C-alpha cells in the first residue's frame, strides 16, 4: 500500500471570529497550517487586533462545518457556555 504524504504549510495561520463579547473580549479560533485543527482563544479586542496583525492571519468567514451530533465531538467551549446540554 502506498500512502500519500501530505505536507502542512506552517507559515499559514487562520482565525475564525466566534464572538465579540459585551465585556470587550473576543472569542476566536486560531489555526496553524490546517483550519480544521484549532485552539479556542479569548483576548481583549485590542490584543486580538494586534494578534491578527502580528501573525498575518487569514480570516475565515462563516461558521465551521458541523460535526455529526452523535459523534460526541461536535462541541466547542463557546457552545458549551451558550447552550444547555
User: Could you report the per-residue pLDDT of 12-32, keeping only the tens digit for each?
Assistant: 999 999 999 999 999 999 999
Contact 66, 22 (CB under 8 A): no
- Lowest-pLDDT choice from 19-23, 51-55, 67-71, 75-79: 67-71
- Residues of the chain with pLDDT > 70, as a percent, come to 71
pLDDT given for residue 68 in this prediction: 56
* Higher pLDDT among residues 26 and 79, named by residue: 26
pLDDT given for residue 72 in this prediction: 60
In the sheet with 58-59, reading across from the earlier edge strand, the strands are 38-44, 25-32, 13-20, 58-59
Contact 30, 17 (CB under 8 A): no
Amino acid at each position: 500500500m502506498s500512502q500519500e504524504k501530505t505536507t502542512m504549510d506552517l507559515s499559514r495561520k487562520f482565525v475564525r471570529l466566534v464572538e465579540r463579547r459585551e465585556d470587550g473580549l473576543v472569542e476566536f479560533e486560531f489555526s496553524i497550517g490546517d483550519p480544521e485543527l484549532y485552539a479556542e482563544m479569548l483576548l481583549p479586542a485590542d490584543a486580538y487586533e494586534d494578534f491578527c496583525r502580528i501573525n498575518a492571519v487569514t480570516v475565515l468567514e462563516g461558521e465551521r462545518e458541523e460535526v455529526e451530533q452523535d459523534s460526541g465531538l461536535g462541541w466547542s467551549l463557546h457552545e458549551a457556555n451558550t447552550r444547555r446540554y
